[in-house]
């Protein structure tokens, strides 16, 4: 009876083993067919209007994800806590058409952050971040329309050069407001309204020229002061020497005077 029971259990055990192996095989195949498991939490690929899209909206990201599919056409990184964009942040995305970085904490963009996107990118959203000042070279060669609204901008020559170097998204220019400025009366005003009457770069050039003139005048005044001091000091030394000569006996005075004259000659 024991042998019969063993013979009965053997096929059951084999069946369970085969079932376990089959499930393991399915899991392995699933991990190969669905690599999205490697994506950061809250990120997922999709297809929208025939374009390959990668969404990481409101995913609590603190940096740009590294494992973004390189055939992505639209990338959404909005509503995160990304503080800055490093160089070559999007280097491996040659087919990217739209990039949404709005509603983050971006305060700094390194030179070359958008390198590799010049050919195809046509929309770049940097609105509602913490940008204060950005070099125009950051957007060098980009043909994309850029949204720079709702940032705490410093209104100066640098911002003026940036606005002239990029193509702004329609109706977004009114959102570029002076949070601070080289002139107090500009604070709180739309930047395009301000530069209609003020040329920050011309003001900067004039300020620089004045500073150079003041510096040159300061050095000139120092040289003159030194020369005046030097002449007066020599005059004082000469007066003291003459008084000393007058105090000597006549013979010795004549000898000292002769010696002085010989030295001078």
Q: Is there a domain that residue 26 lies in?
A: no
What is the domain count for the chain? 2
Two structure tokens written together for 93: 């995305």
Residues 170 and 91 in one domain: yes
Residues 205 and 193 in one domain: no
Please give the helix or strand (H or E) that residue 97 lies within, else none. none
Residues 143 and 187 in one domain: yes
Two structure tokens written together for 178: 């002076």
Task: Residue 142: give its domain's CATH number.
Answer: 3.80.10.10
Residue-range definition of the domain harbouring residue 183: 37-198
Two structure tokens written together for 180: 């601070």
- With 0.85 as the threshold, say if the pTM is over it: no
Residues 117 and 67 in one domain: yes
Residues 126 and 207 in one domain: no
Contacts of 227 (CB under 8 A, 6+ apart): none
CA dist., res. 251 & res. 256, Å (int): 9
Q: Is there a domain that residue 149 lies in?
A: yes
CA dist., res. 142 & res. 118, Å (int): 5
Task: Indicate the length of the chain as a whole number.
Answer: 265
Residues 115 and 206 in one domain: no
CA dist., res. 132 & res. 155, Å (int): 9
Q: What is the mean pLDDT of each run of 10 residues along the chain (265 residues)?
A: 46 55 52 56 93 97 94 97 96 96 98 91 98 95 95 96 94 95 91 90 56 52 65 70 64 54 43
């Amino acid at each position: 009876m024991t042998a019969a029971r063993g013979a009965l259990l053997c096929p059951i055990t084999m069946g369970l083993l085969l079932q376990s192996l089959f499930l393991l095989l399915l899991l392995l195949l699933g991990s190969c067919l669905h690599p999205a498991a490697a994506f950061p939490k809250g990120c997922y690929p999709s297809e929208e209007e025939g374009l390959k899209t990668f969404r990481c909206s409101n995913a609590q990201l603190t940096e740009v994800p590294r494992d973004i599919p390189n055939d992505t056409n639209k990338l959404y990184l909005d509503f995160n806590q990304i503080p800055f964009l490093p160089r070559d942040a999007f280097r491996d995305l040659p087919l990217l058409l739209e990039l949404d970085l709005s509603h983050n904490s971006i305060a700094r963009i390194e030179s070359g952050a958008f390198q590799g996107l010049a050919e195809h990118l046509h929309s770049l959203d940097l609105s509602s971040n913490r940008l204060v000042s950005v070099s125009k070279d950051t957007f060098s060669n980009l043909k994309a329309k850029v949204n720079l609204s709702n940032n705490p901008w410093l209104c100066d020559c640098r911002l003026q050069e940036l606005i002239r170097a990029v193509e702004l998204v329609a109706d977004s220019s009114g959102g570029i407001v002076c949070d601070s400025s080289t002139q107090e009366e500009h604070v709180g005003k739309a930047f395009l309204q301000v530069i209609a009457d003020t040329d920050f770069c011309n003001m900067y050039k004039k300020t620089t020229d004045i500073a150079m003139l003041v510096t040159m005048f300061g050095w000139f005044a120092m040289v003159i002061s030194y020369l005046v001091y030097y002449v007066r000091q020599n005059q004082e030394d000469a007066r003291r020497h003459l008084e000393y000569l007058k105090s000597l006996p006549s013979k010795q005075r004549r000898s000292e005077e002769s010696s002085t004259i010989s030295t001078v000659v």
